[in-house]
Amino acid sequence: MDMLIKGRVWKFGHNVDTDVMAPWNSLTEPWEERRKVILHIRPEFAQEAKPGDIIVAGRNWGCGSSRENAPENLKNLGIGAVVAETYGRIYFRNSVAIAFPNIVCPGVHEAFEEGDEMELDLKTARVRNLTRDIEISGQPYTSEMLNILEKGGLLNVLKERLSNEVGG
């Protein structure tokens, strides 16, 4: 996984929950249907978001359900990363498990406007607003989380572990 991410920012507010990222009655729909309702509080988002775009959010991004479809939908849409003030904890864990970059960064909501260009270093959690020339620091991933991210997700870690067990 590329540890340096660059992209255009979409800005969301506080308490954006997993139900609006992945409504329950969309979960069993095929992807083409499911993608239309992702973050339906801003209907243009699912239509216009481009691969590599970055989401900047306020507090408690992803509060609510354990449904992994929430970060997975954003990842499948091609979103490069989310940088939020704080997260719902299950969403955050799920995002690590599926290797979808999400960085905790107090102050990010103030530092970015919609459409700004961000450069994000996943190793150091350094967040730069290239449009406004601002640099702030997020909370770096722990080495364990980085390892999961670099391997492309927890299932790859599991695969490696299982093959070691068989081999060893």
Partner 1 sequence: MGMTMAEKVLARASGQKRVKAGQYVTASVDRMMAHEAFASCFITLKRLGVNKLYDPDRVVIILDHYFPAPTVRMAQGHKLIRQAVEEFGIKNFLGHAGICHQAMVEGGHVLPGRLILATDSHTTTYGALGAASAGIGVTEMSYVLATGELWMQVPPTIRFDLTGKPVPGIMSKDIVLYIAGEFSTEIAQYRAIEFTGEVAKRMSLASRMTLSNMGVELGAKFAFFEADEKTIDYLKERTTETPSRFGPDPDAEYETEHSVDITALEPQVAVPHNPGNVKPVSEIGDQPVDQAFLGSCTNGRLEDLAVAAQILKGRRVNPGTRLLVTPASQKVMLDATRAGYVETFLEAGAHITPAGCGPCPGGHMGLLASDEVCISSTNRNFRGRMGSPESQLFLGSPATVAASAITGRITDPRQFWSETTLS
Give the residues lining the site for partner 1 (CB under 8 A). Answer: 15, 17, 19-20, 23-25, 27-28, 40-41, 59-60, 63-68, 86-90, 93-94, 97-98, 142, 144, 153-155, 157-159, 161-162
Smallest distance, partner 1 to C-beta of residue 9, A: 23
Q: Which helix (H) or strand (E) holds 69?
A: helix 69-76
Considering the complex, what minimum distance in angstroms separates the CB of residue 148 from partner 1?
A: 9
Nearer to partner 1, 20 or 134 (CB): 20
Q: How far is the CB of 63 from partner 1 (least distance, A)?
A: 7
Beta bridge partners of 8: 117
Query: What would the DSSP string read from start to end of 124-143?
Result: TTEEEETTTTEEEE-BPPPH
Instruction: List, in order, residues 6 or more apart from 111 with CB less than 8 Å away.
Output: 127, 129, 132, 134, 136
27 vs 130 by CB, closer to partner 1: 27
